[in-house]
Structure 1
Amino acid sequence: MRFTAKLTLLLLLLTAPVVLVGQRGIPSPDSVFGFRPGADYKLATYDQAVDYFKKVAAATKFVKVLEAGKTSQGRTEYFALVSSPDNLSKIDRYREIARRLAHPQGLSESDARQLARDGKAFVHIDGGLHSTEVAGGQHVPQLLYDLVSRANDADVKPILDNVVLMLWPTINPDGQQMVAEWYMQNVGTPYELSGLPRLYQEYVGHDNNRDAYMLNMVESRVLEHTWRQWEPQIIYVHHQSGPFPTRIWLPPFSEPVGTDAPYLISREVNMIGMAIAKGLEERGQVGATHMGTAFDAWYPGYVDYAPNFKNIAAFWTETALFQYATPHEYTISDFPQNMRDLRPQSLYSSPWPPGWWRLRDAVDYMETASLAVLEYAAKYKESLLFDRYKAGRDQIALGAKKAPYAYVIPQQQRDPVAAVELLRRLAFGGVRVSQITSAVTIANDTFPAGTWIVPTDQEFAAMAREVLDVQKYPDLRQYPGGPPERPYDAAGWSLPLQMGVRVISVAAPLGEEVRGTLKLVGSMPEMKVRPTAYEPAIDNDAAPFDSAPGLGFNSDPGAAAIVPPPGRITGSGPILLLDPAQNNAFRAMNRAWRQYQQGATVQMVGARYAIAGLTENAQNDLVTSLALQAERTASVSVASGSSRTLKKPRIGLFEPWSTSMDAGWTRWTLEQYGFSPVSIRPEDF
């Protein structure tokens, strides 16, 4: 007995230091930041969060930090893979499985079920993109620490064994850095709660969550590029704008929801929302609510909803916010009159009583929500993976039996480049585009070789339907016979109408004659890929004819292969005539003024622009690089009064100090087409 006791004591002495060193080896957030995440009057910047991620990755085999791309301001955007060391050592195989299930062509149900058993659930969680909603970016370091430092705990180990977490400090790095620095420099001053006097994402600010299908912003393209490489089954984006006095809003969404959203994935989102609510109640965190009238899911422009149309359970939550990291005490008199009785409701079963609300409270709620999502993914891992396959397979089957069976986009357009702009965005997001190799007749119209076709018997067809069809917003009333309910966001967005592109919906199945002429633009998705960061800045503009500068959409082979008809000049003479229906005509004029200002002049002649003073080589360069359809002429002869000389415009853009997304979008549009607006501030008047 004494020998056994001594041996046991010796083993404890030998093993205890190892455990303690292992625990001490993971730096806590407060040891790096100098304060606990969520502390009153403290915000960690993006740079601090990245520094913390790297320190944790250096201290453990449970974390691997990867580059996702660059932001508008040139910062490197990172995310971490968090999982067991064994999973991370086999990450290429698990990513291959996720990609194969996302693209189900030729995959039998039995093989898909086996892959679902063999694979791991990929879950994207981030610190948000609306940077004044500060708790998201503060909860992520705490979540990382609690997962890794408790890796062997009974409630954490199943997560790390069954899930690969793609954890992002934020999906708006520039904004987190700017907002945190602004707040910290103003804490304790009369300006503590003042707003940042510039948009917290370049050009668009809060509208960074309205860019999911247009992908105009580089940050949106970084996300889409990463998701198409990894194909996660869940995407969860944190927000802070819960309907007062509730503490956190969760799915199910309000009405209405997207017409084309895959049914199975919508059910998955609803289940996850309820799982989060249950997790909060188990931890005594009251005040969760669902549905309501605020957060509907009609509009596919949200980066945290659009992935549903690609068979990913994507959603957001809205945790309560006062302002920044400043605490606030609420009394019952602050509550709406109809909420003061604190009466439980069917979707608000544990009303929050008035009291103090701190940033740390929001951080704790968010961490519970994130952990509940991870627990759900670990528990239902096989179901999540198989449902990704089944939802894609269902979309393929739907496209074979229900109109529209395809969309036809002719190359001959009012503005040929506009059609290319539309299709390159679809292709970058994973929708496959084909071209016909010889003339065919579809629905009594004959289309020449080169015409683009988007068949709907493909796994991401719901996204194509959602943006190419005309929306019909449902007639929702506040009460029977009463006024209509106000839509939460955009009610219509049909891209053919917005972009002036002729798109024909095909109401009958494509015949064998047509299918025999289809040639895929680009290639089918490869299952084995080497993930790369999206690097927007390159030496030359990869596609100078489109509105995405630098690399633009060309990181995707399918998008890169969609190009407009070559620029063409007819006629002869020193004057170049351009139709303003072509958006690139404005680029051409600005380049003529800027690059050839020693003699280039522009006139409005009738309904066309006439650019004179360019050499033949300069004319050819403009037309070729911008894919313009132009005419040369020796002279312009017009009736008196129908011609006028245009000078390079001086554009002043009013920008209030309170920030304006309208001004930001206007600036972006003008700059993409070569204009240089000057900011006009209130004090300039």
Structure 2
Amino acid sequence: MFKRLIFILVCVSVHVSRAQVPTPKEHFGFAIGDDYHLANYTQTEAYFKKVAQAVPNLVKLQVIGKTEEGRDQIMMIVTSADNHKKLDRYKEISTKMARAEGLSEEQARAMAAEGKAIVWIDGGIHSTEMVATHQLIETLYQVTTRTDAETKRILDNVVILFTHINPDGQELVANWYMREKDPTKRKMETIPRLYHKYIGHDNNRDYFMLNMKESQNVGRQLFVEWIPQIMYNHHQRGPAGSVLAGPPYRDPFNYVFDPMMVTGIDALGAAMYNRLNAEKKPGFTRLNGSSFSTWYNGGLRTTTHFHNMIGLLTEIIGGPTPEEVPLVPSRLIPNNNTPNPVTPQKWHFKQSIDYSVSLNFAVLDYAARNSDHLLYNIYSMGKNSIERGSSDYWTPYPKRIEAINTAYQADQAKTRGARGGGVAAAAADPMGWGSRSAGMPLKFYESVMRDPLLRDPRGYIIPANQADFATATKFVNALIRTGIGVEKATADFTVAGKKYPAGSFIVKTAQAFRPHIIDMFEPQNYPNDFQYPGGPPIRPYDAAGWTLAYQMGVTFDRMLEGFDGPFQRLPYGELQTISAQVAAGSGGYVLSTKMNDAFLAVNDLQKAGVEVFRITQGSEMGNFYVPASAKAKATLDQVAQSAGLRVTGLSKKPTQAMEKVKPLRVALWDTYGGSMPSGWVRWLMEQYHFPCNVVYSKEIDAGNLKNKYDVIVFVTRAIPVYRGADNDPYAAFRTETKEEEIPSEFHATMGRITANQSIAPLKAFLEAGGKVVTIGSSTNLAYHLGLPVRSALSELTATGEERELPSGKYYVPGSILRVSVDSSAKASWGLPGQADVYFDNSPVFHLSSEAVAKGQLTPLAWFPNNKPLRSGWAWGEAYLQDGVAAFEAKVGQGKLYAFGPEITFRAQSHGTFKWLFNQLY
């Protein structure tokens, strides 16, 4: 009787406590999912705090950092009261199991049984995707107030990390939508700027670099502090004719993954869509039903895949303004992609919220029922990675399989001659389905997949004596932020006969997150992926290749054998700083242009009123010279200590010719609604202390530009395609934002660059001595100006007309390519003779030989051979040979700089930043 009374009292206590949690309607004034209503972040943050105060036994509110606009970024830790008492222990178990270091099988099994599953559920990364933001609010409310058996099981067996990804964006978008008193006039499509201060939608492309504050906050929790077994990333929107797209995803998945991660996604996907089907919620599509894959690294979800986490993404339709599920007949036939199609109908916000909450509970219930398996499986994946990094291992890339086929076919041609039966049979039955005896002798496998030279590395050495060690250290910090274990040499050492200095960094692959390490150092090998043989390519979801070490221009050595030395293991998550001493320089100081941070120092020197010069000839050409002074020494000391800038002190002034570096008035193009590439460059300029103004098309069209600016920078997608008289063939289909619908404070930012209004003022600016820097598709300006250049990626039709190469012949989605560089050209000072560039079907040119001979055009970078691919996918790459990737052109007294590759891509491509920086003086 006494025990029963205690049980009743506990139940009543829990019920009363949970009854104190305010409903969303009580707090916001509307229910989550009500049409035409959105909550902003100020309101959401206040609600989170109310919930945490109402049920402190279930909810702990943690501020994980500040946003770029200075708001608190919140993570809500939700679990049972008993689990909260042991939260530090469960956190320790999660990280130990994920890293899989120093655990015996018995210890791992015991910890899996003792621990609790850690599940990350986020929302709000893309602020116009308001279902994703608001499901977070509703799920928090339900999981803290429901008293059913399922919810109790979840709270008892799972630690939930509810995390808001983009507070600034929610505040902007919700306020913009709700500003209209008439609900039917509310819309999100016309927001005046990016919904992240700098990068908008690209905030979901920052998770191996972690440049932004929000990304750093999230990365710390995901990769260092908690390392959850499951993370669920909510997005919009689903493919037309469906309600949502989700796991499992289409091929290709990345070849460095542990297979248990891939099958883990399959298992969670089954739990998710089975629950929807049981609840009569149709319209879930998967696999080839959508474009989403697991190839790419860098997204919030996808980066977790390289850390052995089961990363989930759903993309759902809906929003505060009711809409229609459109009729797409092909979606109505049940198949393996869409087993339970949805019928065309009116769709409301609440339906999307209900779907999302159901999906969250499906994931949480799976975790609650399989907590020990999830913990043990992430341990097993980590252990597998450590074993692969400790022994000889060959990743089965497509290029390796192609090499096997090539070797076999060459052997067959040699031994069978004209008969060719083996080659034909293998080609006709590549999967070996037609016969039990189909296949190739084992020797062909061993000739490639046991070739010692093709082994995966055991580790990498990043020497401290490379030309730009400060940038290499930034690369190392990107690894550290993503939970990678790094070692540092405490003394000089020798490996494989090569000497390395103390301070060098070492990254060994015998660690749990080996997939991420391999992915940051090694080239991606994207498969040839076409809609059908001979047909057009299937576009990758994002980039095909991104190898960060290549993009950043880092010098490193690959070690195929195990190695050791005087190495100190750095604590997980501890960022590295390097500092340097500025030697006395009675004759002044020299800064090598090979160092990106030299430009930061020059900008600080100029701000302090210190003169800076640039050496224009000899072995020091391009380097900066700073005359000796107390102010110069103090400024250089500060930069050397904070950024590790190496400064050479001189006993006497250099005798080489030099010119004074003049600070220029720099303008960066942007547009109403915001340009992500422009936002990245704006952030980049701030990091290197370049003063910069933002310029919009109306100001450009008004002319008189040279009186205000010396340099104008146009990122990709600023300058329209050149079409002769018909500049914009899509104008009739374009929906322009109307000024009368927008507050007057934003009118100056509206409009776009056009051939009729913008080109003449830009030409006048150039002719008057201005400089224009164009990147990516904005190199179209060269055609608008009538310069003697043409596309290198075209062909003549049977009728003699010139057309772009069709994608069946040539296609290079986002990848890393190698170019030759004229490093003696002023525009290229500081770059090496060869550089890796980020290339995304970028412009390539042929220059008039006569114009080059006259000095009107100067090639800066070009493709010297027919195999420039370094990482990614380049179909028909031979077409690039001898094409010019970058050039400068004289236009009157000024210069146009045209860079086809994305030289500032997502602030990752440090190796080519100098192509922008050099033009800003």
> What interval of TM-score do these two structures reach, taking the shorter chain for normalisation?
0.7 to 0.9
Match of 2:346 among 327, 343, 356: 356
Aligned residue pair count: 623
TM superposition shift of 1:604: 4.6
Inter-CA distance 361–651: structure 2 relative to 1 (3 Å threshold): same
Matched to 1:281, the amino acid is N
Asked if 1:635 corresponds to 2:627, the answer is no
TM superposition shift of 1:620: 3.7
Matched to 2:580, the amino acid is P
SS in structure 2 of the partner of residue 252 of structure 1: strand
SS in structure 1 of the partner of residue 149 of structure 2: coil
Aligned-pair identity in percent equals 35
Asked if 1:583 corresponds to 2:596, the answer is yes
1:566 corresponds to: 580
SS in structure 2 of the partner of residue 346 of structure 1: coil
Using the alignment, how far apart are the partners of 2:639 and 2:627 within structure 1? Answer: 13
Using the alignment, how far apart are the partners of 2:143 and 2:643 within structure 1? Answer: 51
Using the alignment, how far apart are the partners of 2:13 and 2:494 within structure 1? Answer: 74
Pairwise mapping of residues 13-28 of structure 1 onto structure 2 (< 5 A)? Answer: 21-22=16-17, 24-28=19-23
Using the alignment, how far apart are the partners of 2:303 and 2:579 within structure 1? Answer: 30
TM superposition shift of 1:592: 0.7
Using the alignment, how far apart are the partners of 1:565 and 1:429 within structure 2? Answer: 23
1:217 corresponds to: 212
Using the alignment, how far apart are the partners of 2:15 and 2:542 within structure 1? Answer: 52
SS in structure 1 of the partner of residue 506 of structure 2: strand
Match of 2:673 among 649, 653, 658: 658
TM-score normalised by L of structure 2: 0.65
Pairwise mapping of residues 278-427 of structure 1 onto structure 2 (< 5 A)? Answer: 278-292=274-288, 293-321=290-318, 324-330=319-325, 334-339=326-331, 342-401=332-391, 402=393, 403-427=456-480
Asked if 1:518 corresponds to 2:567, the answer is yes
Asked if 1:33 corresponds to 2:28, the answer is yes
Match of 2:532 among 479, 484, 487: 479
Using the alignment, how far apart are the partners of 1:261 and 1:388 within structure 2? Answer: 12
Inter-CA distance 473–58: structure 2 relative to 1 (3 Å threshold): same
Matched to 1:182, the amino acid is W
TM superposition shift of 1:613: 6.2
SS in structure 1 of the partner of residue 568 of structure 2: strand
Deviations 1:212-263 (A, max 9, x none): 1111001011012222212211111100121111111111122211221222
Matched to 1:603, the amino acid is R
TM superposition shift of 1:668: 0.8
2:691 corresponds to: 676
Asked if 1:105 corresponds to 2:105, the answer is no
Contact 2:577 2:644 in 1 (8 A): no
Inter-CA distance 447–318: structure 2 relative to 1 (3 Å threshold): same
Using the alignment, how far apart are the partners of 1:626 and 1:351 within structure 2? Answer: 56
Asked if 1:57 corresponds to 2:55, the answer is no
Pairwise mapping of residues 76-87 of structure 1 onto structure 2 (< 5 A)? Answer: 76-87=72-83
Using the alignment, how far apart are the partners of 1:14 and 1:299 within structure 2? Answer: 52
Matched to 2:473, the amino acid is V
Using the alignment, how far apart are the partners of 1:456 and 1:197 within structure 2? Answer: 46
Larger deviation, residues 499-508 vs 657-666: 499-508
Using the alignment, how far apart are the partners of 1:435 and 1:13 within structure 2? Answer: 59
Using the alignment, how far apart are the partners of 1:17 and 1:99 within structure 2? Answer: 36
Match of 1:156 among 151, 158, 165: 151
* Runs of 4+ that moved beyond 6 A: 10-20
Using the alignment, how far apart are the partners of 2:642 and 2:672 within structure 1? Answer: 38
TM superposition shift of 1:622: 3.9
Contact 2:95 2:227 in 1 (8 A): yes
Contact 1:604 1:646 in 2 (8 A): no
Using the alignment, how far apart are the partners of 2:156 and 2:140 within structure 1? Answer: 15
* Structure index of larger Rg: 2
Deviations 1:527-574 (A, max 9, x none): xxxxxxxxxxxxxxxxxxxxxxxxxxxxx33x2xx344624548x434
Task: Name structure 1 gaps, 5 residues minimum.
Answer: 1-9, 526-555
SS in structure 2 of the partner of residue 305 of structure 1: helix
CA RMSD of aligned residues (A): 2.4
SS in structure 2 of the partner of residue 86 of structure 1: helix
Using the alignment, how far apart are the partners of 2:525 and 2:654 within structure 1? Answer: 47
Task: Name structure 2 gaps, 5 residues minimum.
Answer: 394-455, 701-921
Relative contact order, higher structure (CA 8 A, sep 6+):
1
Using the alignment, how far apart are the partners of 1:618 and 1:36 within structure 2? Answer: 56
Matched to 2:150, the amino acid is D
Inter-CA distance 619–52: structure 2 relative to 1 (3 Å threshold): closer
Using the alignment, how far apart are the partners of 1:251 and 1:666 within structure 2? Answer: 34
Inter-CA distance 14–453: structure 2 relative to 1 (3 Å threshold): closer
Using the alignment, how far apart are the partners of 2:8 and 2:102 within structure 1? Answer: 57
Using the alignment, how far apart are the partners of 1:516 and 1:603 within structure 2? Answer: 41
Asked if 1:600 corresponds to 2:611, the answer is yes
Matched to 1:507, the amino acid is L
Inter-CA distance 36–455: structure 2 relative to 1 (3 Å threshold): same
Using the alignment, how far apart are the partners of 2:581 and 2:466 within structure 1? Answer: 13
Using the alignment, how far apart are the partners of 1:229 and 1:35 within structure 2? Answer: 36
